[in-house]
Structure 1
Amino acid sequence: MQAKLEAVIFDWAGTIVDFGSFAPTQIFVDAFRLAFGFELSLEEARAPMGLGKWQHIEALGRDPQIAQRWRAQFGRAMSNEDIDHIYQTFLPLQAERVAAHADLIPGALEVVDNLRRRGLKIGSTTGYPRQVMEKLCQLAAANGYAPDCVVCADDLPAGSRPGPWMALQCVQNLAIGAVSHCVKVDDTAPGIAEGRNAGMWTVGVTLSGSPAGWTLQDFRAALPQAQARMRAQVGAQLRAAGAHELIDTVADLLPALARIEQRLAAGERP
């Protein structure tokens, strides 16, 4: 089999749409407040980004500082029933507000069109549940983006990130010949780990995603020194998770793919 890339599998919020990944993070804050009158900061809500949303709430409940405040407020640890209640509060809020954060990240459409012209397939995985993704997919399609495959956190019984299952489901759905001919593009450490655990090349997005937490206006206004600091800070997290390449935003993806293709042609594997 010729050693060439066959597919790119993109994350959604912070990678392809929703610069800064604001749709899910603010709604975690709101869901905790509405469900239990419990206060989270936006920074705390961002910390587990990339996980499935139920698992995200669970991870927040296990955070030592949050767990301490929860116990002080309620006299007990967060239970699975509490997580279920917050999750059920989260779902309608997310479905309602996802439209406000559905804009494509600049350059995304041009990059995807280039990949399609080269014969690559486009897959996608997400921590969003299917109920939310059905609406987001409609909005993205209206803006010109419709991947060949969408796998959601609640689609598979095995679970979601950082496990490999969603990425591997894309491999099956897209009929890919070799997992090593796939590239996973993501803005979070669990998303990068998903790709590595699936045996794929991985590209980490440093400035448009949740760890940076910048709006598009923040990004455009940032001085080169500020961009360099954020790039180094987020890049260290994504490298630690196993990213083979780092880019600022999806608009910078094509040169990174060219370098991966060179390594693949030279006999390297992820």
Structure 2
Amino acid sequence: MLMRAVIFDLDGTLAETSGDLIAAANRCFADLGLGALLDPQEDAATAMHGARAMLRLGLSRVGEVDEADVDRQYPRLLAYYEEEIDRHSTLFPGAMEAVAELRRLGHPVAICTNKPEALAEKLLDRLGVRGDFACLIGADTLAMRKPDPECLRETVRRAGGDPAHCVLVGDTETDRITARAAGVPSILVRFGPNGHRTADLHPEALIGHYDELVAAVQALG
């Protein structure tokens, strides 16, 4: 029997990474003499939308946002983030136990993230779990990124699965749109920085803890 491939988003889904992301953004703002413009708790959800989203939010608090300023700070933010990529970041409880059970049952398991590939690889290595996933596709691995459904499809192919027979586990509207565009179901998490918003996206399933994931995958048929 063909087992459904289970593809995970990374930031906000497998791991809580907002603290390190916001710390990197605030270092950029400090370099500009602006101080810490983002709050690690209040702005955690914005961190899940990427470096440019954090830069835009912070700069909007001190004036109009100039995209040229965002472009200049973007590589600096990534460099700062890489320096301390796992100072605060942790895997969500039960995540790797769920991954292990899915693999035991024969499900191909992989990651499709909008984090740059090298940073995603480094983070997973630091967290000690890279070897648990068949492959990883990041924001710059292909010519496109989520929500383009081809990113998801190619992840499934590289993991050895069937792109028409997979599920995307995520935490944002981007993940929901990606799965819908690919014609496959999504499972969104209720925890993490975006957890309070995921029910409004009406995915095929919601989970409040990773101990619910295997049953949710099996329920999809």
2:194 counterpart of 1:211 = yes
2:137 counterpart of 1:151 = yes
Partner residue of 1:31 out of 28, 33, 37: 28
- CA offsets per residue over residues 41-66 of structure 1, 9 Å max, x none? 44674444554544x35xx63x7x96
Instruction: Tell me: CA distance 1:68–1:15, structure 2 relative to 1, closer, same or farther (3 Å).
Output: closer
- CA offsets per residue over residues 222-252 of structure 1, 9 Å max, x none? xxxxxxxxxxx4233332xxx1100113232
Three-state SS of the structure 1 residue aligned to 2:155 is helix
Report if the CA contact (8 A) 1:125-1:151 is conserved: yes
1:185 is displaced (CA, Å) by 0.5
Q: Which 4+ runs in 1 deviate beyond 6 A?
A: none
Instruction: Tell me: CA distance 1:92–1:238, structure 2 relative to 1, closer, same or farther (3 Å).
Output: same
* Structure (1 or 2) with the larger CA radius of gyration: 1
CA distance in 1, matches of 2:138, 2:85: 15
CA distance in 2, matches of 1:92, 1:66: 19
2:199 counterpart of 1:236 = yes
The equivalent residue for 1:176 is 161
CA distance in 1, matches of 2:50, 2:153: 16
The equivalent residue for 2:123 is 136
Report if the CA contact (8 A) 2:115-2:139 is conserved: yes
Instruction: Tell me: CA distance 1:13–1:145, structure 2 relative to 1, closer, same or farther (3 Å).
Output: farther
CA distance in 2, matches of 1:101, 1:251: 23
Three-state SS of the structure 1 residue aligned to 2:84 is helix
Three-state SS of the structure 2 residue aligned to 1:15 is coil
CA distance in 2, matches of 1:99, 1:48: 18
1:184 is displaced (CA, Å) by 0.5
RMSD: 2.8
Report if the CA contact (8 A) 1:17-1:104 is conserved: yes
Count residues with an aligned counterpart.
220
CA distance in 1, matches of 2:92, 2:214: 15
- CA offsets per residue over residues 193-228 of structure 1, 9 Å max, x none? 222222221001011x2224xxxxxxxxxxxxxxxx
Instruction: Tell me: CA distance 1:100–1:131, structure 2 relative to 1, closer, same or farther (3 Å).
Output: same
The equivalent residue for 1:225 is none
Matches within 5 A, 1:243-254: 243-254=203-214
Query: Structure 1 stretches of 5 or more lacking a match?
Result: 72-76, 213-232, 262-270
Amino acid at match of 2:137: V
Instruction: Tell me: CA distance 1:144–1:128, structure 2 relative to 1, closer, same or farther (3 Å).
Output: closer
TM-score by length of 1: 0.70
Report if the CA contact (8 A) 1:31-1:90 is conserved: yes
The equivalent residue for 2:215 is 255
Structure with a larger share of its residues in helix: 1
Amino acid at match of 2:172: T
Report if the CA contact (8 A) 1:17-1:101 is conserved: no
CA distance in 2, matches of 1:149, 1:170: 7
TM-score by length of 2: 0.83
Instruction: Tell me: CA distance 1:45–1:119, structure 2 relative to 1, closer, same or farther (3 Å).
Output: same
Amino acid at match of 1:103: T
Instruction: Tell me: CA distance 1:126–1:68, structure 2 relative to 1, closer, same or farther (3 Å).
Output: same
Amino acid at match of 1:258: Q
Instruction: Tell me: CA distance 1:85–1:66, structure 2 relative to 1, closer, same or farther (3 Å).
Output: closer
CA distance in 1, matches of 2:181, 2:32: 35
